[in-house]
Structure 1
Amino acid sequence: MQVFVIFLVVLPISGVVSINITEPEFFEINIDRDHPEKLYKAFEDFKKKYNRKYKDESENQQRFNNFVKSYNNVDKLNAKSKAAGYDTQFGINKFSDLSTAEFHGRLSNVVPSNNTGLPMLNFDKKKPDFRAADMNKTRHKRRSTRYPDYFDLRNEKINGRYIVGPIKDQGQCACCWGFAVTALVETVYAAHSGKFKSLSDQEVCDCGTEGTPGCKGGSLTLGVQYVKKYGLSGDEDYPYDQNRANQGRRCRLRETDRIVPARAFNFAVINPRRAEEQIIQVLTEWKVPVAVYFKVGDQFKEYKEGVIIEDDCRRATQWHAGAIVGYDTVEDSRGRSHDYWIIKNSWGGDWAESGYVRVVRGRDWCSIEDQPMTGDIKDHKDNYYY
């Protein structure tokens, strides 16, 4: 196969997304000289599948440039995964015509804060005393074997209704942190009340910051603290609008009814030294998820299916959030076992594994086990430090 290289410059454009590109991107495009029509057909298929309509031929060309960059990156990532014997697969998805800057606009720029002083889970003491969360000790592997080898909250029901809600879509707003908090609280509420209710991501996004626009990013800590103090309304009463939280101070909590009452929700930080064990214990014993915040590297944008094993986030500055809802183990083509988390994402059900992603567990992949959070409404206060 003959391959040639073209150097292209991506200029500021508009159309399918609203984020403006302020800096050009330079990248290599490798095209099979014998069969270039495959690439053009792939782009046409992409536009049809995701109903892309660009304003003019100039934008079409720039979107094609972005698409080819993704196309090449998918090939490289799949080749690397196959050579390593992993089951991870990458593919074209709804982000494939976005520039790096546009994709990063869907991620959070907020660096996690130090959780010292927040309530921390402790399963070892019957009567807790106050202790500030210590984040600087050596991490421990899971020691207990009393938990099942596999668990998935998506299979759990209360009164015939699943306690993990449908996948939602944050759109172009970087409110992943709010969706992760809401995913946690929805299941906590279902486990407590016996009924599932879709709760308002928009309220957390509007109100759960310190006055900054929620669409610019946010904090799991501020999100759970907000729900603890003010409670949370339902989606029907406070619906999601991906453009609303691009401005700060849009909170309208006093205009809505509380589904989760104020002061009813409790939260705690998972001990990072025992993250794997405690996350598994929360999932299997409490039947609630764990909200997590993690860095995003190149693999995550192109992810299609399988378990992400490699950590490519050491230099990453963008963050994302989701909710761990289960765990399991997979064996790769070389017979090696890889433990993994099942994460509920907020990019719609047409992304990856029906809106979910699986990543390796117990290795602090992309800092995912540094500051997990969970919560409850029932009588588990003895498991917290206050």
Structure 2
Amino acid sequence: MSSSSAPRFGVNYTPTNGWFHHWLDFDLDEIRADLDSLAALGLDHLRVFPLWPVFQPNRTLVRPRAIEQLVQLVDAAGERGLDVAVDGLQGHLSSFDFVPSWTTTWHRRNIFTDPDVVEAQAAYLSALASALSGRPHFLGMTVGNEVNQFAGAPHPDPDRIDREQAGTWLRRMLDACEKGAPERAHVHASYDVAWYDGDHPFTPAHSARIGAMTAVHSWVFDGTAQRHGHDGVPTEQHAAYLIELSKAWAEDVHRPVWLQEVGAPAPHVPPERAAAFTDATVAAALDCPDLWGITWWCSHDVDRGLADFPELEYGLGLLTHDRRVKPAGEVVARWAARPRRAAAPRQVGLVLDAGDVEGAPLRAQCAPGGAYFEAWMRLAARGSRPASVLVQRVGDAGYLAGRGIEEVVTVGDV
């Protein structure tokens, strides 16, 4: 997954037939119809989500039939020219937690530190990766979707760990993916508390230094749209900001960044403005060097016959539940059809002092409303295309040159 080529366009696949519960009533014809509607948009990849309790209902049982169905989905996508990245530990999706019974209630144990659970997770991830390793359209594994949300508040029943334990767990999971499918692009993904909360055990250094590339998830309901409006510069630049913020911690100056989730959530982005927001967000993200790709959330709207989703989750699709293309889908299709090239370097670096590099205890300033966030956005509003630089790297001329940064400014300068 080189970042030197043109960024890719894809989508997080939400099946029309039963949402992610489709694994319980797997229908390959319905999946093929969904995939046809996505290929028609000109996309080149999908991110798909096995449900952990369905695939591994017992600690020592990974269901062969479930894996066979996953392979069938990947093969069907490949037949349509769509590459596939597979998440493993679901984990958490659209406000619902999917954890197996052998980790809860009478069997309650920490999913990050209990030795039996960790070994079972590793075996599961390795089994999925191994089954897909021979498929040319298989991109690699993501450990799970925002699994970091299990590690602290606001989760109602968190599995508490510290920073060192989080890093140990991530490396163990990624090693398992590599064992199953060597030399694929295996990554992990946190929601943005990892960038914004200095007490959270999953850190920016974890995201930017562990795995084949950095994955960021951009959601403007995190306070950005509430503070700046649906069409404010910070709202439209939020995804680009997270991409650039992540690079401050990367040791490789050209480490690829995957905008793995981004969407237009109502009412923070009114439905009639979703297309404009999508257009602005994509344009801003494509102006970031070393972007591997953009994977929109999500493919199809959630069936309103399914209950208890937060209201915003029902309408995030690029297509309706009956596979009609929505205005935001038309925007993404137009972008996917355009010639693209890697973005030019960003020459102005905004200095960030988040405390020690590994723990980043002062990262709250990076959140919407924080001093660093707001300064970065002021620069963006002036058209200066800011990058992010840790204060520890300001005196490293070789590092700055490698990123193409010619000037550094502080928050106080902006």
**TM-score, length-normalised on structure 2?**
0.23
Task: Give the structure, 1 or 2, with the largest relative contact order (CA under 8 Å, sep 6 or more).
Answer: 1
Rg larger in 1 or in 2? 1
